Chain A
Amino acid sequence: MTKKKIKKKKYQLRLPCDSENLDLIREFVGKIAASMGFEEEEVHKIELAVDEASTNVIKHAYKGVNLNNKSLLIEVFTYPDRLEINVTDRGKGFDPGKIKDPDIKHYLKKMKRGGLGLYLIKSLMDQVTYNIKPGVKNQVKMIKYLS
């Protein structure tokens, strides 16, 4: 593979943890992805993955946490071959080791709601990694390559 000279650009958005901001988050990442040349279907996948990661933060990260500034940080890095998005909070975190791919049919049969977000993120993005330091910095990093 020939080595490309990487021009990195960074965009970031810090928002209060409120579900009313989800459309703003989708628009933010969707516009950047579209401007990089991602097809509409791929833009939708990226918007949905970031929505799911942000929803998890909004719903769970700060539950029972006493903190004045309950915020959510979205960082987007553009490269010639890929898009990287970090969703970061300072809440209580979670154990990524406990995340298992659900047997989705069995899961649906039990009619258990919720918890599908992480599975969707993995299905929609090319790479997903977690860096969890409860109370300090919890980060979901997602990567999508331009085809």
Chain B
Amino acid sequence: MDKFEVHRRDIEEISVLNIQGFLDAHTAPEFEEALQKLLREKRFKIIVNLEGLEYISSAGLGVFMGVIEDIRNHHGDLKICCANPKVFKVFDLLGFPSLYEFFDSEKEAVAAFANQQNATQ
């Protein structure tokens, strides 16, 4: 049984990581590797789509925290979309919505990157 899966899609300069299943201390390294691969490729505009994510623990949240500084230092961002209420509650308990942008749909997250681009031009 696959407890956790990461799938990557690139939409021009944005990379979307779809994560599915259970993100805990056992599966967090797989997610971290997928993010680190993007950073090695110098892709700093990242959307993490949580549509298929059923569970997250603080080990999973730690992965988001571990990369955000590097991403923002490179004028990028990591935006989060499509969290189910149970998963969002864990992010919320730890105050993540004050530091990361959350969106109901991937389309809105993509649009937010486009708006940021326009604002800086």
User: Of residues 102 to 134 in A, which have CB atoms within 8 Å of B's CB atoms?
Assistant: 104-105, 108-109, 111-114, 116-117, 119-120, 123-124
Tell me if B94 and A113 are in contact (CB < 8 A): no
Tell me if B57 and A55 are in contact (CB < 8 A): yes
> Counting CB contacts under 8 A, is B103 at the interface?
no
Tell me if A120 and B93 are in contact (CB < 8 A): yes
CA A123 to CA B90, docked complex, whole Å: 10
Name the prevailing secondary structure of the B interface residues: helix
Minimum CB–CB distance for A91 against chain B, Å: 16
CA A55 to CA B94, docked complex, whole Å: 17
CA A69 to CA B26, docked complex, whole Å: 20
Determine the chain A residues whose CB is within 8 A of the CB of B25 once the complex forms.
Answer: 19, 22, 51, 55, 58-59
Determine the chain A residues whose CB is within 8 A of the CB of B68 once the complex forms.
Answer: 111
Residue of A nearest to B90 (CB): A48
Which of B5-13, B41-49, B58-66, B111-119 sits within the interface?
B58-66
CA A48 to CA B60, docked complex, whole Å: 12
Residues of A within 8 A of B (CB): 19-20, 22-23, 26, 41, 44, 47-48, 51-52, 55, 58-59, 104-105, 108-109, 111-114, 116-117, 119-120, 123-124
